[in-house]
Amino acid sequence: MVAVNTKDFRAAGLYQVGAKRGSIGHPLPGIRVRIVDPETSEPVPPGKAGLLMVQGPNVMQGYLGKPETTREVLQEGWYITGDIAAEDEDGFLSITDRLSRFSKIGGEMVPHIQVEEQLQQLAGANEQKFVVTAVPDARKGERLVVLHTLHRDELKLVLDNLSRSGLPNLWMPRPNQFFFVEQLPHLGTGKLDLRRIRQLALEFSVGENP
C-alpha cells in the first residue's frame, strides 16, 4: 500500500480533510512519493501528472535473481511504479494512467486512454469498441494504431468527425491506422492483453504506408 483516504479529523479549532473524491488519499506514514516527468525525471508542479515514484519500508529489495529487471524499477531506493499520477496542493494523490499506455510521438507524450475515450464518444458507444497502441515510426518515433470492432459504416462516421473531436494533431490516429478485429484481446483477468494488442498492430502495419 502507498496511500489511503481516511475520515476527516475534527478538534477544537482544527479541521483536517482526510479524503477527497477521485483520489487515493495521502501517503501512509513513513512513505515518501515523488511525481516526476517520465522523460527527464525532474519533479513536476502540484496538479500536473507525472510518473509516480515511491520510497519507504514497503518497497521491495528487488526481483530475486533478476538484477537487470531490478535496476529498471529501483533507482537510489525509489521504486518506479509505472503509474501516472498527480499530487494536489493538499497532498492528495490521484492515479490517472499507466506509463505503458503512453507513446512518445514527435517528442510529446500521447496518452492512449484519452484517445480511446474520445473515439468512444464519437462512436456513441457504451461498451469498449477501440483500443489504442503504437508501433515504431521512422519519422516521429512512434505512431498510433487503433484496433476496433465497428462495422464499416460506423467507423466511417467516426473518421468523418475525427478532425472535429478536439484531439491535438499529434494525438489523432491516421485513418489508415484503424484495423478491424472480431474482438479486442483480453487476458483471463478481464484486462486488455496489451502485449497481444501490440503484436496485432505490428502485424497489421506490415506493408502499410503511413
Contact residues for 71 (Cβ-Cβ < 8 A; gap 6+): none
pLDDT (average), residues 160-188: 93
Report the pLDDT value the prediction gives residue 108, as an integer from 0 to 100. 84
CATH number where 70 lies: 2.30.38.10
Quickly state the pLDDT bin for 210 (edges 50, 70, 90).
low
Q: Any idea what the CATH number is for the domain that residue 165 is in?
A: 3.30.300.30
- 122 and 147 in a single domain? The answer is yes
State the burial class of residue 128 (Cβ atoms within 10 Å of its Cβ: 0-12, 13-18, 19+). Answer: middle
Per the structure, how many domains does the chain have? 2
Q: Is residue 53 part of a domain?
A: yes
In this predicted model, what pLDDT tens digit does every residue of 11-69 receive, in sequence order? 998 998 999 999 999 999 999 999 998 888 899 999 998 999 999 999 999 999 999 99
Same domain? 49 vs 28: yes
Confidence of residue 183 (pLDDT cuts 50, 70, 90): very high
Cell of residue 50, nine digits = 507525472
Residues 6+ positions from 193 with CB-CB distance below 8 Å: 185, 186, 187
Residue range 104-118: average pLDDT?
A: 89
Q: Is the pLDDT of residue 99 over 60?
A: yes
117 and 86 share a domain? no
pLDDT band at 196, cuts 50/70/90?
Answer: very high
* Structural domain contains residue 129: yes
pLDDT band at 107 (very low <50, low <70, confident <90, very high): confident
Average pLDDT over residues 174-193: 93
Q: Which residue has the higher pLDDT, 161 or 206?
A: 161
Boundary-marking domain end, from 65, 98, 131: 98
Q: What is the mean pLDDT of residues 73-85?
A: 92
| pLDDT for 180 beyond 70 | yes
Judgement on whether residues 115 and 200 belong to the same structural domain of the protein? yes
Nearest to 80 by CA among 112, 109, 132, 41: 41
Given 98, 118, 145, the domain boundary residue is 98
Expressed as residue numbers, the domain containing 20 is 3-98
State whether 82 and 152 are in the same domain.
no
Predicted confidence at residue 207, as pLDDT, reads 58
Does pLDDT of 208 surpass 80?
no
Quickly state the pLDDT bin for 116 (edges 50, 70, 90): very high
Q: What is the mean pLDDT of the chain?
A: 91
Residues 122 and 40 in one domain: no
**Domain identity same for 34 and 94:** yes
Residue 46 located in a structural domain: yes
> In this structure, is residue 210 part of a structural domain?
no
